[in-house]
Amino acid sequence: MMLDDAEGEPVSQTSAFSKRLTHIGNIYQTYLDRFVPHAAARWGLLGFLIVLYVIRIIILPGWYIVTYALGIYLLSLLLAFLTPKVDPAMATADADDEDGPSLPTRQSEEFRPFIRRLPEFKFWLSATKAMLYALLATCFTFTDIPVFWPILVMYFCVLVFVTMKKQIKHMIKYRYVPFTRGKTVYQGKADSN
């Protein structure tokens, strides 16, 4: 079936559908762009969604597989957030590579000691989407698969312990800290009279 556009030329339905999807995608991106500078509000929204999810799981017990999958996904996001973009273990082996990070060569360049594999905004966005999907999954009974939940809790705790131990050892070995608070300002000597 063909439709006519403003100039009287035929337009297919797939093209109209594609334009509509593009328009919806642009609106979504506009709202995301407006939300970027409001970090406290973003993380507050994620905290609210987490509390809402926990309350829903406590009131209506079940959805252990959904909760376990959500926990594993959030753990993988956290690990990507804490990991540098260029792994120091691999950077020493590829020191001759031109594409890797380098020290600043001019006065106007800024030295960035830590660049994350997963930026903060993408971490928040992925975690928020995961929480919304998990909340949506708790609305349907077919996602409530019966399982012996204490084994899942024990396995998740062991997994968190092992992966965080490995990550902390990596941080200590290569001497990087994933959290910085702005640029360090050094003060000169005080005048002695």
pLDDT category, 182, cuts 50, 70, 90?
A: low
What does the alpha-carbon distance between residue 143 and residue 66 come to, in Å, rounded to a whole number?
Answer: 7
Can you say whether residue 175 is alpha, beta or left, with left for phi > 0 and alpha for psi between -120 and 50 degrees?
left
Q: Return the beta strands (E) in the chain as ranges.
A: 2-4, 10-12
Enumerate the domain spans of the chain.
13-91+114-174
Lowest mean pLDDT among 36-40, 99-103, 152-156, 175-179: 99-103
pLDDT at 144 over 90: no
Q: Are 169 and 88 in contact (CB under 8 A)?
A: no
pLDDT at 190 over 90: no
Reported as a single tens digit per residue, the pLDDT across 4-30 is 555 656 556 678 888 898 989 999 899
